[in-house]
Structure 1
Amino acid sequence: MAPKPTSSIRSFASSDRFLAEIATDARRPGYVLAGDESFLYQRCRAGVLAELAPPDQRDFCLHDLDLAEVPIFDVLDRAQTPSLMVPFQVLFVRGLKTLYGRGQKKEEFAAIDAYFRRPNPSALIIFVADHLSIPTDLRRMDMQDKERFERIRETLGDWCGIVELSRVDEGDAARWLAAEAVTRNTQIHPDAARELVDALGADMMLIASEFEKLALYAQGKQLFLIPPQHDQAQPVADIPTPTITLGDVETMVLAAKQRSLYELTDAISAKDRPRALALLHGLLNASDGGEDSAIGHLYMLARTFRQMLIILEKNVRDSRAIWSVLWHGFRMPPFAAEDLIRQARRYKSRADLTRALRLIARADLEIRSSPPDKRLVLERLILALASEPKPAASGSFHQFAIDL
Structure 2
Amino acid sequence: MASLKSFAGTDRFLAEIAGPTPRPGYVLAGDEIFLYERCRKGVLAALVPPDLRDFCLNDVDLADTSIFDILDRAQTPSLMAPFQVFFIRGLKNLYGRGSKKEEFAAIDTYFRSPNPQSLLLFVADHLRIPTDLRRMDLQDKDRFERIRETLGDHCGIIELARVDEADAVRWATEAATARSVVFEPDAARELADALGADMMLISSELEKLLLYVTAPIPQNADTAPLAKNRITLGDVETMVLAAKQRSLYELTDAISAHDRPRALLLLHGLLNASDGGEDAAIGHLYMLARTFRQMLIISEKNVRDSRAIWQVLWQGFRMPPFAADELIKQARRYKSRRQLTRAIRLVARADLELRSSPANKLLVLERLILDLAAEPRPEHAAPTSQFAMEL
Contact 1:289 1:375 in 2 (8 A): no
Shift in Å, 1:271: 1.7
Quick check: 2:305–2:325 contact (8 Å CA) kept in 1? yes
Query: Counterpart in 2 of 1:87?
Result: 82
Determine whether 1:171 maps to 2:166.
yes
Decide whether aligned partners of structure 1 residues 20 and 141 sit closer, same or farther in structure 2, where only a CA change above 3 A counts: same
Residue aligning to 1:309: 296
How far the C-alpha of 1:172 sits from its partner, in A, is: 0.8
Q: Does 1:224 align with 2:217?
A: yes
2:389 maps to which residue? none
Residue equivalent to 1:236: none
Residue among 318, 343, 358 paired with 2:305: 318
Does 2:260 align with 1:273?
Answer: yes
**Structure 1: distance between partners of 2:22 and 2:282:** 55
Alpha-carbon distance in 2 for matches of 1:299, 1:306: 11
> Of 333, 355, 374, which aligns to 1:368?
355
Match of 1:260 among 238, 247, 270: 247
* 1:35-77 per-position Cα deviation (integer Å, ceiling 9, x unaligned): 0101100110011111111222111111110000100011111
2:25 corresponds to: 30
Cα distance in structure 1, aligned partners of 2:272 and 2:241: 15
- Corresponding residue to 1:39 among 24, 34, 42: 34
Partner AA of 1:156 in structure 2? L
Residue of 117, 120, 123 corresponding to 2:115 = 120
Q: CA–CA distance in 2 between the matches of 1:161 and 1:227?
A: 60
Change (3 A) 1:340 1:188: same
Asked whether the equivalents of residues 6 and 13 of structure 1 are also in contact (C-alpha less than 8 Å), the reply is: no
User: Distance between the aligned counterparts of 1:228 and 1:55, measured in 2?
Assistant: 47
Contact 1:185–1:241 (Cα < 8 Å) also in 2 = no
d(CA) in 2 for partners of 1:21 and 1:201?
A: 30
Q: 1:235 maps to which residue?
A: none
> Residue 243 of structure 1: which of 222, 226, 230 is its match?
230
SS in structure 2 at match of 1:346: coil
Residues in 2 aligned to 1:154 and 1:348: alpha-carbon distance in whole angstroms: 48
User: Taking structure 1 as the reference length, what is the TM-score of the superposition?
Assistant: 0.90
Whether the 8 Å CA contact 1:57–1:86 is kept in 2: the answer is yes
**Structure 1: 5+ residue stretches without partners:** 233-238
Contact 2:34 2:199 in 1 (8 A): yes
After superposition, residues 325-344 of structure 1 pair within 5 angstroms as 325-344=312-331
Whether the aligned pair in 2 keeps the contact of 1:392 and 1:399 (CA below 8 Å) is no
Identity of aligned residues (%): 74
Unaligned runs of 5+ in 2: 386-391
Shift of 1:399: 7.8
Shift of the 136–289 alpha-carbon distance from structure 1 to 2, 3 Å rule, reads same
Is the alpha carbon distance of 1:104 and 1:6 closer, same or farther for their aligned partners in structure 2, counting shifts above 3 Å? Answer: farther
Q: TM-score, normalised by structure 2?
A: 0.93
SS of corresponding position for 1:83: coil
CA distance in 1, matches of 2:217, 2:382: 63
Q: Are the aligned partners of 1:136 and 1:169 in contact in 2 as well (CA < 8 Å)?
A: yes
Shift of 1:325: 2.6
Aligned-partner Cα distance in 2 for 1:241–1:397: 57
Q: How many residues align?
A: 385
Q: 1:6 to 1:103 in 2, by over 3 A?
A: farther
